[in-house]
Amino acid sequence: MTTFEVKEEFYLNEKPVKLISGAIHYFRMTPAQWEDSLYNLKALGANTVETYIPWNLHEPVEGEFHFEESNDIEAFIKVAEKLGLLVILRPTAYICAEWEFGGFPAWLLRESGMRFRSTDPRFMEKVRNYFSVLIPKIAKYQVTNGGLVIMMQIENEYGSYGMDKEYLRQTRDIMKEFGVDVPMFTSDGAWEEVLDAGTLIDEDILVTGNFGSHSKQNAKNLQNFMARHGKKWPIMCMEYWDGWFNRWGEEIVRRDAEDLAQEIKVMLEIGSLNLYMFHGGTNFGFYNGCSVRDNIDLPQVTSYDYDALLTEWGEPTEKYYAVQRVIKEVCPEVWQAEPRKKLLKNLGTYPLKASVSLFNTVDTMAKAQITDYPLTMEQAGTGYGYMLYSINLKNYHHENKFKIIEASDRAQIYTDGEFLVTQYQTEISEELEIHGKEEKEEIAVEVLIENMGRVNYGYKFNSPTQSKGIRQGIMQDIHFHQGYTQYALDMSGEQIAAIDFTRQENAAQPSFYEFQPELAEVADTFIDCSAFGKGVVIVNGVNLGRYWQRGHIQYLYCPKEFLTVGKNEVVVFETEGVAIEKLNFSATPIYSEK
């Protein structure tokens, strides 16, 4: 039976061990990809894998738990164990991870005034309910129970948000209650203020740091902090950032391979580290996160390539070989091997089969919810994707003032079926002028709201902007309007299957485009989105994620597991009035110079 202890060093089976770990998020790839990714981590020279566990995937509806397919954390752990990798788990309620709402489920927002990441009894009750299901599933794989899980995290970078030690204690106690008995840890930035705020060092909870450069100085900061509290623990960087995430419209972040390798070499000479990320993967569906700068929300892209050691699709990079080399220099006894490669193919070009305007088929896809005042996305449905609001305003036959009050994140406004304007969170509430057609007594208004991703880091977790859709209402002249018909559109497989493509098309409106590629073979591939505007692509009922002309990344990665030999159903939902006439697959990712 394996043993693991934290003393002045990490001890595995009573012998000192340096943890060389890599982050792989099982939920950002298909289960068929897990073994290749984990094998490549071991071939690098690593002995450990680390992963977050996202609450919102495992409990998407309160009280309804999912641990199947790509959510099967137990199966992922078993693959790691089969390869002889130790496992570090981060099952915290909050994960950050550039993931939607930092892992919190959207349904938490239905309870007004609940304070997240605090001892608010309502929040802690939700955490307890979740942990009562999750923790027993993973506790059985701890080294204390004959498995290879060596450590678990209590909270993630809490010192960058709060300083409520009682919240940390309550979280720790719940984890212990449901079976965690391996060493627990916190991870924070490596400077005094956040370490002081975010740790339980005086209660013997291991302190680890997150950084990606200046290894000597950051390690010294950790060491000094522990020494001031009378601790002589091993130095570990729990997130050694080897790249960075990307946001729409910004330059793709790249890091020089040799620069990274030399910094990692220094860190390995000091202590242990976890490469964040080793393999980033993809933010499938609507699970991309959002960061904040100067109070402006900046949604992150679908690709979570992270400029990591493996690409988004799992191909070893120049960084992989450079880091593999320095690991061998510092730890000459480690086992290493050639990594496994990926095969990607161009699966051809296919013509459009049919298209239909969203406005003409929305009633076949979702139930109309009729209310005096608007519902938010969380009130009306799952809280993800889009909401379509329809209202009829009186036509006064002259220019009328119009504005939306408090809505998130992106509103596209149509009057009598014609596009008027797109407003973002910073522009919503700005006054517009609308007018109806002379021959009509009413103005038909449609407002399509997109949730572009809830914030995953920073101070806005308890901000009203985390609730998506229209929160207050729509004003005509200077009064609130009553009478809304709304549709919650999360683009589930069921909703996509219910689209009626026999109804009228109108490329000037948000529209669905249907393709039925007949494939003689399947392979990992890319969908070329360079001629599209903005929207999502659904392949055989699976939402690959968002695309947008804004920025350099103009593809969506499609693993072969989402395709089938024979007929496939691919639906593109396009919101920008771009008529899509063909579907192109590609063997390589497509980037724009824009």
Catalytic positions are 157, 239
Rounded-to-integer distance, Cα 513 and Cα 524, Å:
22
Specify the length of the chain in residues. 594
Q: Report yes or no: 198 and 163 within 8 Å, Cβ to Cβ.
A: yes
Rounded-to-integer distance, Cα 130 and Cα 349, Å:
45
Task: Specify the residue for token string 């679908």.
Answer: 302
Report the number of secondary-structure helices (H) and strands (E) in the chain: 12, 34
Residue 244, number of CB atoms within 10 A of its CB: 15
Nearest to 571 by CA among 527, 536, 533, 538: 538
On the CB side of 334, CA atoms within 13 Å amount to: 25
- Tokens in use for 237? 């960087």
On the CB side of 71, CA atoms within 13 Å amount to: 13
CA distances (Å), origin 105, targets 115, 160, 523: 14, 21, 33
Q: Is the peptide bond before 259 cis (omega within 30 degrees of 0)?
A: no
Q: Do strands 48-52 and 20-24 pair parallel, antiparallel, or not at all (unpaired)?
A: parallel
Local structure of 249: helix, strand or coil: coil
Nearest to 268 by CA among 237, 309, 227: 237
Name the amino acid, one letter, at 165: K
Rounded-to-integer distance, Cα 156 and Cα 94, Å:
7
Task: Specify the residue for token string 């050691």.
Answer: 309
Rounded-to-integer distance, Cα 489 and Cα 412, Å:
15
Rounded-to-integer distance, Cα 548 and Cα 575, Å:
10
Local structure of 247: helix, strand or coil: strand
**Helices 318-330 & 257-270, crossing angle to 10 degrees?**
30
- Tokens in use for 478? 């200077």
Residue 425: burial class (beta carbons within 10 Å; 0-12, 13-18, 19+)? middle
Q: Is the peptide bond before 114 cis (omega within 30 degrees of 0)?
A: no
Nearest to 482 by CA among 394, 363, 399, 397: 394
